[in-house]
Amino acid sequence: MTDLPGGLPGGLDGGLDEPEELQPAEGSLRLVGDGDVYDVAAWEAATAAVLRKARRLGDDAPDSDVWAALSRTTLDGIDVAPIGQPSDLQGRTTSGRPARRGAWDVRTQVEVADAKAANEAVLQDLENGATSLALHLSEETEHDWATLLDGVLLDLAPVVLDRPSTEQVEAFADFLEGAEGALHPATNLSFDLQTIEMLPHRLREDGVTARDLFAPVARRGFQLGVRALVVDGTALHDEGASDAQELGWAIATGVAYLRLLADEGFSAEHGARLIEFRLAATDEQFPTIAKLRAARRLWARVLEASGATGEMALHAVTSRPMTSKQDPWVNMLRGTIAAFAAGVGGADAVTVVPFDERLGMPDAFGRRIARNTSSLLIEESHVAAVADPGGGSYAVEKLTDDLAVAGWAELGRIEAAGGALADEARSGVKERSRAVRAERDAQVADRSRPLTGVSEFPNLGEVLPEREDLPFRYARHYDWAFQDMRTEPASSPVFLATMGPIAAHTARATFATNLFAAGGVAVEAAGATPDVDAVTAAYAGQSVVCLAGTDAAYAAWGGDLVTALRAAGASYVVLAGKPGERTVTDVDDSCAVGVDALGFLGRIREELAR
């Protein structure tokens, strides 16, 4: 394989040509399809008026500030604007479009602890909309493959493995070699040298290493007419990596595999046909669409540099780190958005993780919802009817290009450190992903990255469904810190000293109640209260109290209320409001939008435990 050139796939340094008659005038926006052209200044003025009413833009701020107010920055430092413009594509390219035509492969995940029970689940999935299988095997037992795949038409339904051990790969290959009839070419022995070497796995007692098995497994796949290798970007995603880091890591691993295959006599073209890429799809819709489109562009550039042709085989799996154990029903919404984005982004196969996986072994209902998510998107919403639904969108094309550039830069860093299989490169990748993970954790902590049902709108009274134990699978979930507190709720509640009528205090009272609940802390509210005496009459000796009222109420009788509550036994007083706007000074803490929720809740729980 030749050295990779420094350019980007598909001529990223080139421009995007658009017929002159279709180009809008400079300084204008065009709504696609109706031929009307709108002045940018008019859009800014209309948008600014809305943001000022919502208090998201100052009265004296220029209208042009709406771009900054509505833009967000990804963990890769990429700015995502609220609306696309023709100017976004100047000097950019739109190569590397998805190759899939028609419906994607609905690949259901099946947990395998018992072969017979898993076979029942497999057949049920295939009879009800699934078109291929992703098997996650328990490492504690030896599996009866004949029982597990009894009744499965292997020429019609591809079968892949989810992060198997080397022994499981060999056993699967042995079974396929003895199977009667043809095998579907998308079947994959699923050997992933990178993941086996990077993530904790059992060491083989016979001394055979994963590196020793790479070439034999590749040859077995080639002889069987199926794929042999998986590049599992989800493994790094599950560690907390960003989209660009996952992209660069996956492409670098693919490059490393091509080099190993070349050493064994495989051409780049034949080697590429043995590889399937597995990437994570999250509920961040547009970054996911762009990431999958960018992945195709980057791999196309690698193949071009290798003198090969062909298309990337791309399997998207909805993100496990984004799922929550608390209020698991929200995972259905997360999975739906992620599956939609995966389909629009051009994934060849899509696996929707069952909404109840965080609770344990998914049941029949969880698996049904997972496979039906893709079926509904394909059959009823017709998402797969267009080959590249995001193509031509200024915003999607720009984001695709930005992610491709960032992913290629990460690939360059990995290559400079010796390639994806080098220890130095792996250490660098882990260090960079840890930095991203810390930044994400900080955003989750201050709720600028809200988690519905966890950090926002938590339900302390929910009863979680019970599930059987699940074979171990590591993922660093975004909600881990809140989950720790919810697992062990505070033993006593906070007294919510609501001031004035309900209409006056409800906004701050609701905010504080939800914030406390996110940390497993219940509240007992005073209700409608006209004065200090009414609040103290409802007080029942709780050690922590939180004042919730209007600024006017704070100024009028907030100080007297704090004095009365302290005299009645309160040891820690919190004010619902911004610290810089306190009109009540004798308080110990405050809470408002933007507070470090985890730090605040930690202090509250510590006080309650005294």
Residue 12 pLDDT greater than 50, yes or no: no
Confidence of residue 42 (pLDDT cuts 50, 70, 90): confident
Confidence of residue 15 (pLDDT cuts 50, 70, 90): very low
The one-letter amino acid at 2: T
pLDDT for 33: 47
pLDDT for 65: 92
Question: 188-191 and 159-161 as β-strands: parallel, antiparallel, unpaired?
Answer: unpaired
- Paired with 161 in beta bridges are 135
What are 255-263's contacts with CB under 8 Å, separation 24+? 255/1, 255/4, 255/302, 255/411, 255/415, 255/419, 255/420, 256/194, 256/419, 256/420, 256/421, 257/193, 257/229, 257/231, 258/1, 258/302, 258/306, 259/1, 259/419, 260/193, 260/214, 260/215, 261/218, 262/1
Q: How far is CA 545 from the centre of its chain?
A: 37
pLDDT for 34: 53
pTM of the model: 0.90
Which are the contacts of 96, defined by CB distance < 8 A and separation ≥ 6? 9, 10, 293, 294, 296, 297, 298, 300, 404
- Residues 261, 274 contacting (CB under 8 angstroms): yes
Q: Classify burial at 319, counting beta carbons within 10 Å of its beta carbon; exposed 0-12, middle 13-18, buried 19 or more.
A: buried
Pair of tokens at residue 378? 């394909």
Tell me, yes or no, if the two domains 105-434 and 488-608 fold the same way: no
Residue 20 pLDDT greater than 50, yes or no: no
d(CA 339, CA 292) in angstroms, rounded, equals: 12
Residue 203 pLDDT greater than 60, yes or no: no
| Alpha carbon separation from 58 to 50, 314, 487, 580 (Å, rounded) | 11, 46, 41, 18
- Paired with 349 in beta bridges are 105, 315
pLDDT for 27: 52
Lowest mean pLDDT among 29-33, 55-59, 107-111, 334-338: 29-33
* 69 CB neighbour count, 10 Å cutoff: 15
The number of CA neighbours under 13 Å toward the Cβ of 477 is 18
- Residues 529, 557 contacting (CB under 8 angstroms): no
- Residues 608, 544 contacting (CB under 8 angstroms): yes
Residue 98 pLDDT greater than 90, yes or no: no
- Determine the average pLDDT of the residues in 147-171: 95
d(CA 588, CA 77) in angstroms, rounded, equals: 36
The one-letter amino acid at 155: D
pLDDT for 588: 93
pLDDT for 84: 86
3-state secondary structure 469-509: CCCCCCCCCCCHHHHHHHHCCCCCCEEEEECECHHHHHHHH
Pair of tokens at residue 43? 């859009």
Name the DSSP class of 320: S
pLDDT tens digit sequence for 345-391:
999 999 999 999 999 999 999 999 999 999 999 999 999 998 888 88
- Determine the average pLDDT of the residues in 330-334: 97
d(CA 243, CA 233) in angstroms, rounded, equals: 10
Which are the contacts of 155, defined by CB distance < 8 A and separation ≥ 6? 181, 182, 183, 184
Confidence of residue 50 (pLDDT cuts 50, 70, 90): very high
Confidence of residue 102 (pLDDT cuts 50, 70, 90): confident
The one-letter amino acid at 263: D
pLDDT for 21: 38
Q: Which residue has the tokens 């909600």?
A: 479
d(CA 551, CA 576) in angstroms, rounded, equals: 10
Name the DSSP class of 6: S
d(CA 74, CA 89) in angstroms, rounded, equals: 19
pLDDT tens digit sequence for 487-515:
899 999 999 999 999 999 999 999 999 99
**Alpha helices (runs of H) in 501-554, residue ranges in sequence order:** 502-518, 532-538, 551-553
Select the more confidently predicted residue: 199 or 228. Answer: 228
Which are the contacts of 358, defined by CB distance < 8 A and separation ≥ 6? 323, 324, 325, 328, 331, 477
pLDDT tens digit sequence for 258-304:
999 999 999 999 999 999 999 999 999 999 999 999 999 999 999 99
Lowest mean pLDDT among 207-211, 483-487, 538-542, 599-603: 207-211
- Residues 272, 303 contacting (CB under 8 angstroms): yes
pLDDT for 527: 94
- Determine the average pLDDT of the residues in 12-39: 47
pLDDT for 99: 67
**Residue among 91, 120, 110 nearest 17 (CA):** 91
What is the fold, at CATH topology level, of the domain defined by 105-434?
A: TIM Barrel (3.20.20)
**Residue among 334, 225, 227 nearest 274 (CA):** 227
CA angle 302, 307, 311 (to 5 degrees): 55
Name the DSSP class of 558: I
d(CA 575, CA 212) in angstroms, rounded, equals: 63
Residue 551 pLDDT greater than 50, yes or no: yes
The one-letter amino acid at 277: F
Which are the contacts of 90, defined by CB distance < 8 A and separation ≥ 6? 15, 16
DSSP notation for 124-186: HHHHTT--EEEEEE-TTS---HHHHTTT--TTTS-EEESS--HHHHHHHHHHHHH-SS---TT
Quick one: CA dihedral 197, 202, 203, 204, positive or negative? negative
Helix (H) or strand (E) holding 39: strand 37-39
The average confidence (pLDDT) of the chain is 89
Helix (H) or strand (E) holding 73: strand 72-73
The one-letter amino acid at 8: L
Confidence of residue 584 (pLDDT cuts 50, 70, 90): confident
d(CA 233, CA 39) in angstroms, rounded, equals: 42
d(CA 125, CA 318) in angstroms, rounded, equals: 18
Lowest mean pLDDT among 18-32, 169-183, 397-411, 445-459: 18-32
| Alpha carbon separation from 469 to 199, 203, 233, 358 (Å, rounded) | 22, 24, 26, 10
Kindly report the CATH class assigned to 488-608: alpha beta
**Domain ranges (residues) in the chain:** 26-70, 105-434, 488-608
CA angle 293, 297, 298 (to 5 degrees): 115
- Residues 348, 100 contacting (CB under 8 angstroms): yes
Confidence of residue 469 (pLDDT cuts 50, 70, 90): confident
